[in-house]
Amino acid sequence: MKYLYLALGLLAISPIYSQSILLKWEAVAPGVWKAVVGQPESIHLLGVAGINPKTQVLNKLGERNFPELQKSAVYEIFDHKVYLRFPLEEKEQLYGLGLNFKSVRQRGTVKTLHVDHYGGRDDGRTHAPVPFYVSDQGYGILINSARYLTVYAGTGVRKDSPNPPEEKDRNTRKDWDANPYSDAVEVLVPATGTEVFLFAGNTPLEVVQRYNLYTGGGVLPPLWGLGFTHRTPTLFTDKDVLNEVEEFEKKGYPLSFVGLEPGWQSHAYPNSFVWDQGRFPDPASFIKRLLEKNIRVNLWLNPYASTKSPVYKDLIPHAASHTVWVGVVPDFHVPTARELYKKLFNEQHLSVGVSGYKIDETDGYDTWLWPDVTRFPSGFSAEQIRQTYGLQIQKMTADWFRERNQRTYGLSRASNAGASALPYVIYNDYYNHRDFITALCNSSFIGVLWTPEARSSATSEEWLRRMQAVCLSPMAMLNAWADGTKPWSFPEVAEAVKEVMLLRMQLLPYLYTTFAQYHFEGKPPVRAMPLNDDGQFFEKDIRDQFFLGEYLLVAPFFAGERSRQVVLPKGKWYDFYTGALAGENQIIEVHQSTPGPIPLYVKEGGFIPMIPPQLFPPKKNESLPLIIRYYGTQPSQGNLYDDDGETFDYEKGQYSWSELKAKKDPNGQWRGTIATPSGKPFRYVDIQWEWMVK
């Protein structure tokens, strides 16, 4: 059938098909192909992201065959737009298409991919409307366009379809279907050209790996970025913040970096970008005080400049025609605008020790942001800028830190394709806990990171459940900017919250290795269930559990639940806390009569390297004791990553992959060995092994 289809594409037998042209694919890396349609625009997603493909790793990953059916993918150019058509197998599932909050499977949906604040529907308007979908048939498609793309992910039915759905009389057929089977994904690109990329892979995970590697390999955050972060109330003074930090220590809650919200600025919404002399008279020594405990400082801002800002006057000619909250909107495609920000931000922030930014309101809403009739000095359209603004600011600010050979790890509310290597985590103002976890699943297909931040809760149980989930996410954050909450705000669960926060710290070696796999191998740290190692397909659309790294399976409880189902993939899975066998390729029911720890499972053969509980992130090259938990009944081997934790020296080879081995000796005793390359950074001392499976 696919050949007939291909033939149709070639032979152009109908007046419709006569306008369809086969995509011409050229290999750009092993398992990665590109097709150029019409005249692609000078601004596009991967260009703004400034990707730097990891060619060596892609070569190591090796060649793959071009998926047969996609040889019949076609395009048309009509009405100043590109029409794309990618055939679908009858049984094929699709994932991705942006940071969705309610669904993981995307076949049968229609989306207009548009950077916006998530509005409660998976309609394409979201913080990262990445035009990339992953098929479980071993490929993924990326449309590299900075336009509002409309994607019909298997909804359209052509009258000349070679395999059309059956026509049914609704009057008499109970099985009449309002959404009949569709044999293609169709995409409308409102521009006269675009690049299209195809990433192959034996499993969805391998497809995602290639996407992440091609877009630069995943970000490797600084080690401190993987600790716990607390964002303080907006009008806190330096003393308020220092007191809060002291309270964390006194009460025994860990803290890696604090976030300062709008009040740190002399003027915000729009922004002055300079410290408020009243609340923060001496930023340098304030930050120095925190650095003594190795606690970093992150600054909130949005990019819109106030008349009170030093950049204001010089920025005007390089800004958009329209404002946001009366703030001037810089056009960062103009070098002068970039330089103005770089100079001021270096003076005010980076040079006094600021570790990173939370970049707010680059996403939406339409009633807040500049309208699409806005003009930008660079000559790019408001639409193109809207789709790439968050991405561009991520790249620009990341480069400032890179120039200081200093890693950053911050927050952004807007992103897009090509962001894998950028040191930012997406967050938003939406607050549905279940949907937050579904977003975590979806982030794994599209090369972005997401945090289900905790802000406040109606009950102590909800607080515990939110704090547990966020502590097993890419950024463990309490955002108290508006509510003034603290980890111990709900006394009944204060201890349980402390436990999971300390567990987060204990897991640092595992988490760091997990992110190293993201960076060096393209494997996302959080993985939705379809991104399992075997490419196993699950009958149901699983939205409430995810893998964290190579070995962990996280199944959060939600407030009000006393039991939940957990889908265990193929292979044995063990309880993280006890080592007890949980099951194997089955659905189990987990009960908690009273809210307990967050259910965590470890795969057979899994190594979980941990450190003792600690309150602050390890300093550069600081030595740490290591406990390696092993979960398995069979011998296995794994890896442990390390480097200085703060600089980019790992790009010059200053890192170590240690090989972990677990096997039984002749007496049937488990023995663990760790082999570390000599002369490379390795911070761990007196290593102990824990054999979890009895």
Joined together, the tokens standing for residue 396 give 């620009």
Verify binding: residue 560, its own copies, rule CB under 8 A: no
Give the DSSP H or E segment for 146.
none
What angle separates helix 508-521 from helix 204-214, to the nearest 10 degrees?
80
Verify binding: residue 635, its own copies, rule CB under 8 A: no
Verify binding: residue 39, its own copies, rule CB under 8 A: no
Residue 207 CB, nearest distance to its own copies (Å)?
24
Q: Of the two residues 159 and 250, which places its CB atom closer to its own copies in the complex?
A: 159
Verify binding: residue 93, its own copies, rule CB under 8 A: no
Q: Of the two residues 3 and 368, which places its CB atom closer to its own copies in the complex?
A: 368
Contacts of 526 (CB under 8 A, 6+ apart): 440, 441, 443, 444, 449, 450, 473, 474, 546, 547, 548
**What is the residue whose two structure tokens read 């009243």?**
278
Verify binding: residue 428, its own copies, rule CB under 8 A: no
Contacts of 377 (CB under 8 A, 6+ apart): 317, 318, 319, 320, 331, 333, 334
Residue 112 CB, nearest distance to its own copies (Å)?
9
Q: Under rule CB under 8 A, which residues in 212-251 are in contact with its own copies?
A: 234-235
Give the DSSP H or E segment for 378.
none
* Per-residue contact string for residues 311-350; x = within reach of its own copies by CB under 8 A: -----xx-xxxxx-xxxx----------------------
Q: Under rule CB under 8 A, which residues in 181-210 are in contact with its own copies?
A: 186-188, 190
Q: Of the two residues 101 and 424, which places its CB atom closer to its own copies in the complex?
A: 101
Cβ distance 477 to 454 under 8 Å?
Answer: yes
Residue 374 CB, nearest distance to its own copies (Å)?
7
Q: Which of 85, 210, 466, 523 binds its own copies (CB under 8 A)?
A: 85
Residue 514 CB, nearest distance to its own copies (Å)?
37
3-state secondary structure 249-310: HHHCCCCCEEEECHHHECCCCCECCCECCCCCCCHHHHHHHHHCCCCEEEEEECCCECCCCC
Residue 593 CB, nearest distance to its own copies (Å)?
38
Q: Which of 53, 108, 193, 233 binds its own copies (CB under 8 A)?
A: 108
- In whole angstroms, what is the distance from residue 471 CA to residue 541 CA? 24
Cβ distance 501 to 466 under 8 Å?
Answer: no
Q: Which of 11, 42, 180, 482 binds its own copies (CB under 8 A)?
A: 180
Verify binding: residue 685, its own copies, rule CB under 8 A: no
Q: Under rule CB under 8 A, which residues in 372-401 are in contact with its own copies?
A: 372-375, 377, 381, 383
3-state secondary structure 638-692: EEEEEECCCCCHHHHCCEEEEEEEEEECCCCCEEEEEECCCCCCCCEEEEEEEEC
Contacts of 673 (CB under 8 A, 6+ apart): 660, 661
Q: How many residues bind its own copies (CB under 8 A)?
A: 74
Q: Under rule CB under 8 A, which residues in 157-176 are in contact with its own copies?
A: 157-160, 164-171, 176
> In the 8-state DSSP scheme, what is residue 246?
H
Verify binding: residue 353, its own copies, rule CB under 8 A: no
Q: Of the two residues 272 and 420, which places its CB atom closer to its own copies in the complex?
A: 272
Verify binding: residue 42, its own copies, rule CB under 8 A: no
Q: Under rule CB under 8 A, which residues in 257-276 are in contact with its own copies?
A: 262-263, 265, 267-270, 276
